[in-house]
Amino acid sequence: MLNKNHLKIIDVLLLKNISIQELSHNINISERTLSNYAGQINEVFGGVLHITKKHGRYTMTVFNEKNFIKDLEQLRTRIKQNDEQTEKRIEDVFQILINNDVSTIDDISEKLYLSKSLLQNIITEIKTIVRKYNVEIRGKPNVGLSLSGSEFKIRKILVEQFPNNYKDIMLPEYVFEYLSDIKKQYKLDSDTYMRLETSAKVTMDRLRKAYHVDENLNIDNQIFQSKDYQNFDGFAFYLQKEFNIENPKYEIFLIVLQLLGRRASVIDEVIDKDDDSLIQRLIDNTIDDINETFTIKINKNLFSKDIRLHLKYLIDRLLFDVKISNESIGDVQQRFPFAYELSKVLAENIEKEIEVKVPINELDFLSIYFSIFLDELEQKMRDINSVAIITNQGLSTSKILKMNLQQILKDGVEISTFNLEEVDEKIMDVHDLILSTTQTNRLFNKVIYIEDILDRQLLKLKIEQFLIYKDVNNIKLFNESMLFDYLSEEDIHHFDHTHGYFDVIKSLSNELTGENEVDSAFIERIIMKEKNKPTINNNLGFPHAVHTLEKIKIKIAILDESLKDYEDLKLIILMAIPENNVNEAVLIRLYEEILSLATNDYLMDRIRNNTRFSELAHILNQEMRK
């Protein structure tokens, strides 16, 4: 008997001659099986058509068009009837499995009048279908078959795979009218409305049989306040009264999902506790993009269980258009400029996945997660065994600092006090952490300067910042601004309105090449990167790219007049980053300083067309690192 694959072969050959390899690939069968199928078609349609294999290609010739059309139609009808019968048997077997704790092959075979061999084939088919929903059919010797999976997933299978059993079920008049109003409100097409009706029928049928969605769906409860959910409040109340259930919000979740169209598949992937593939994809792509954009290698451990859960809930809120308030957070972009840029990279990847824009207030929350960029800070705190306090302010000052340190650090940390005059290299080397109440250039490489000895929280923050940025060998750290440690008078340039953005980039890059500070391909690399994705933030341009030499190099362009193509730009900072052996702690600090300029209007206003090297040094030192 011919099957669907035979019919596919005929349909393809009706349109064109085709190579053996392509036809085999399209139908997903081996070339040998394809050859057998062609012979079977010739046998069944003998005298009406003939399929020929010649020079590696198949050709079909029809000899009697009238009889061919009649026989082909009969074949289509017979295959359709067989498919419908098979689908009905599969649905009936699945219904038995979901409505009984345990079912035996003998019981199902007897109830549905199916042979055991046919039933085994059907169960194999069902296993393939439900596996995609993380639902399993388990067999126990001498016991029988049982279905393992969440009630929500079982309902999804019924709606998406086995809806035929519900076609003839009539909805209560109230429910029918309610759903009809939803159809008008959302202007649903017939297919979407059919799924909406089916999901309502499935939900009510399962509730009638006392099967409840009582497990944690791994969704943000804020979506229950979304407009889509609120539009089903009346229906939720009806289910609560009709079936005496406590939490109708979970019961109608599958129904509400039908309104989301393509987005529903994303929600389905997000709520699955056992499937983290979407979140992992976002994380992997974000790590790759951050490395590509900033030459920073993010540790995957940064994305802890809490952050992954936050991402899941964030996607829930975006898909259901739930707005959140962040009034208590303050100006996150100013407080955590680099973390904010990292959050934008993650947001771009979220937008690519779900095709919904991430609003600014959600960016703020992501920035806070990234601002804890080194979750390892706790471990670094625990690694501190000895602290030196340098102060000339007397015993009371050292006692207060000791007391605060004992609250911040682990028990048993050795804390010693020294006058500034006593400090030498030996003392510097034997202590893990050095605090000073006196500013001193020569100690800045290893010291934390304490302005307010009473502020324990500020002290903790300064220690954390030091642990993040401490690996800074060969840097002149006596400047308040690390950015300026990479600049000399020759690195500051002025440009007027006759230049464009890329003219400035080429000029600064050419200078680096001429100084033999970057490789010859750097210009092409940075131009291509900037054309692909301009790094312009407010009135600051920040083109940056890797080079094959050894040092971080920076050039600054002060724009005395508006550029031809970017009128709002006031400053361009170009950075060349070593491709290998870059000090990431230094790089992160530089990113934070540079990006903080974009949100510091006061500082940017102070940089004018007559600003020279010494004035710029003063501005950066006084303002940027306050």
Q: What average pLDDT does this structure show over 271-292?
A: 81
Considering the entire predicted model, what is its pTM? 0.56
Is the pLDDT score of 477 beyond 80?
Answer: no
Tell me which of 428 and 329 has the higher pLDDT. Answer: 428
Using CA atoms, how far residue 86 sits from 82, 92, 111, 554, in Å, is 6, 10, 16, 70
Tell me which of 295 and 21 has the higher pLDDT. Answer: 21
Confidence of residue 231 (pLDDT cuts 50, 70, 90): very high
In the block, tokens 């079909």 appear at: 60
Tell me the C-alpha distance between 103 and 111, whole Å: 11
pLDDT at 577: 93
In the block, tokens 């019924």 appear at: 158
Answer yes or no: are the C-beta atoms of 418 and 401 closer than 8 Å: no
386-390 and 144-148 as β-strands: parallel, antiparallel, unpaired?
A: unpaired
Answer yes or no: are the C-beta atoms of 51 and 16 closer than 8 Å: no
Is the pLDDT score of 10 beyond 90?
Answer: yes
Tell me which of 598 and 575 has the higher pLDDT. Answer: 575
Is the pLDDT score of 446 beyond 90?
Answer: no
In the block, tokens 């690399």 appear at: 525
What are 499's two structure tokens?
């230049």
Confidence of residue 173 (pLDDT cuts 50, 70, 90): very high
In this predicted model, what pLDDT tens digit does every residue of 505-561 receive, in sequence order? 999 999 999 999 999 999 999 999 999 989 998 889 999 999 999 889 999 999 988
Is the pLDDT score of 473 beyond 90?
Answer: no
Is the pLDDT score of 343 beyond 70?
Answer: yes
Q: What is the mean pLDDT of the chain?
A: 84
Is the pLDDT score of 328 beyond 70?
Answer: no
pLDDT at 331: 64
Apex 89 CA angle, 84 and 92, nearest 5: 120
Is the pLDDT score of 289 beyond 80?
Answer: yes
Q: Which SS3 state, helix, strand or coil, does residue 519 take?
A: coil
Say how many Å lie between the first and final Cα of the chain, rounded: 83
Tell me the C-alpha distance between 447 and 606, whole Å: 30
Tell me the C-alpha distance between 157 and 160, whole Å: 5
Q: Residue 210 burial by CB count (10 A; 0-12/13-18/19+): exposed, middle or buried?
A: exposed
pLDDT at 21: 92
pLDDT at 265: 66
Percent of the chain at pLDDT above 90?
45
Q: What average pLDDT does this structure show over 173-177?
A: 95
pLDDT at 34: 94
**Which of 132-141, 449-458, 459-468 has the highest mean predicted lDDT (pLDDT)?**
132-141
In this predicted model, what pLDDT tens digit does every residue of 253-270 receive, in sequence order? 999 988 877 566 667 666
What are 89's two structure tokens?
């048997």
Is the pLDDT score of 401 beyond 90?
Answer: no
Percent of the chain at pLDDT above 70?
87
pLDDT at 441: 46
